[in-house]
Amino acid sequence: MGHFARALKSVAVGWPNPGWAPPLGYSGDSIATRVDQNTAMGVSAFTAGIRLIAEDLASLPLVIYERLEKGKRRAIEHPAYAMLHDTPNPEMTSMVFRETGIGHMYSWGNWYAEKELNGLGVPVRLWPLRPDRMTVDLKTGKRVYKYRLPDGTGVIIPANRIFHVPGWGFDGLVGYSRVTLMRRAIESAIVTGEYGLRTLANDARPGVTILHKEQLSKAAKKNIAESWDESHQGLTNTQRTAVLDEGMTIESTGFSPEDAQYLDSRKFSTIEVAQGLRLPPHKLSDLENAHFTNIEESNIDYVVALTPPATRIEQQIGKDIIGPGAFFAEHLFDALLRGKTLDRFTAYRIASNGAAWMNADDIAELENRNPLPDGKGQVYLAPLNEAPVELLAQAVLGTGKP
């Protein structure tokens, strides 16, 4: 284990930063003007979106294949196969490691990890690094990675020991932070959320006017206002009976959340966050325009939206870990593309009967089932009469080969 990996064991590598403190000028009674990765994670739609993407992508099997003259095969003997597919390091599973990195890539804009190399210079372990502790610079035409350890010490990490997946908007050094790009949408969500909390804290009553038939002094007005707030403001004083003296009356002033279109603002904030993360709104529980006839198509659109980050990760693995050659990494999207049972079985029938390019064992593997015994599932059926291809070729051509 390298000293960077040992340092990581003394500090959390997830997000948000557990050591974060509110920015200067921020208090519980005012809206935070600073939007960063930590305040953004307080927006439920943003947190749900990043968690959704990170969990779904990290849950997909990540496999190393070898290109063949025709097709490909799983290269389970490759040194990086178990590291990527199962355990990148002794402390983390593949899903936890990738979930953390993808979360970093979407919040900070970059996914960094230290490669632990063996004596031959081959990566054997991967240790996550916090993006907010990393500085990337160009010196003499090469990238230089400077990492700040928990004790504040800055250490230069050789570029050949860094696995770096930049997010969207790569400028040659680093990817762009989604939090920075979506700052206005996140800020709007924070403001509307703060408004809702304040409104609820006041029993959803923005304010009242107490009318008195006589002219009152400033001290009397102050005493009446303070007495009213003490007795009726806040959730604990909800629906308390008001007793007014001297012919005083109450008139509500201020708008209800509905009048201020508060709920619409909250919905719009969710849609803005969904747009920024390239997610269908129903994935963030906005079901206003979702129904049974389009939800499956929307899920397919979601899988399509996951393809670019998956490709970004696969190609960076090829560049930084596998290297050039016949081997490559690929995510298996089959689980997310399964669809409805009837649709799947119809597609299998077309592929096995109409096209004759799948057999029963191929279908069983996709359905996570064991192959048929005695090789019976290896038979390919010809179209129309569903006869084995070999028998049909033998009958027509007099040979066992099609």
Give the pLDDT confidence of 145-196 residue by residue, as tens digits: 999 998 889 999 999 999 999 998 888 889 998 888 888 888 877 777 676 6
pLDDT tens profile 100-133 = 999 999 999 999 999 999 988 899 999 999 999 9
- Dist. CA 51–CA 369, nearest whole Å: 30
Instruction: Indicate whether 126 belongs to any domain.
Output: yes
Residue 293 resides in a domain? yes
Within this chain, do residues 263 and 170 fall inside the same structural domain, yes or no?
A: yes
Tell me, yes or no, whether 261 and 378 share the same domain. Answer: no
* 203 band by pLDDT with thresholds 50, 70 and 90: low
Tell whether 171 and 233 lie within a shared domain: no
Section 5-12 average pLDDT: 44
Looking at residue 111, its amino acid is: W
CA distances from 346 to 134, 296, 338, 350 (A): 51, 16, 12, 6
Beta bridge partners of 349: none
Same domain, yes or no, for 218 and 316?
no
**Residue 19, pLDDT score:** 38
pLDDT digits (tens, 9 = 90+) for 49-63: 999 999 999 999 999
103 & 121 share domain: yes
Asked if pLDDT for residue 94 goes beyond 60, the answer is yes
pLDDT at 251: 61
Q: Are residues 194 and 329 in the same domain?
A: yes
> Does position 70 have pLDDT exceeding 90, yes or no?
no
Same domain? For 199 and 326 the reply is: yes
Per-residue pLDDT at 76: 94
Are residues 196 and 321 located together in one domain of the fold? yes
Most confident by average pLDDT, 161-175, 192-206, 212-226: 161-175
Contact 385, 396 (CB under 8 A): no
Q: Which long-range contacts (CB under 8 A, 24 or more apart) does 336-341 make?
A: 336/56, 336/60, 336/299, 336/303, 336/306, 337/300, 337/303, 339/296, 340/296
End of a domain among 320, 337, 354? 337
> Which residues are within 8 A (CB) of 186 and not within 5 positions of it... i.e. 6 or more apart?
35, 39, 40, 43, 46, 179, 273
For residue 152, give its domain range: 1-20+27-204+256-337
**How many domains is the chain built from?**
3
Same domain, 271 and 327: yes
Give mean pLDDT, residues 84-106.
95
Give the residue from 187, 218, 253 where a domain finishes.
Answer: 253
Does one domain contain both 245 and 179?
no
pLDDT band at 310 (very low <50, low <70, confident <90, very high): very high
Task: Answer whether residue 143 is part of any domain.
Answer: yes
Radius of gyration of the chain (CA): 30
Domain end marker among 337, 353, 370: 337
With residue 157 as reference, give the H or E element that holds it.
strand 154-157
Same domain, 141 and 234: no
Would residue 280 count as lying in a domain? yes
Asked if the structure places residue 145 within a domain, the reply is yes
What percent of the chain has pLDDT above 90? 31
Residue 402 lies in a domain: no
Q: Are residues 290 and 249 in the same domain?
A: no
Work out the percent of the chain whose per-residue pLDDT is above 70.
65
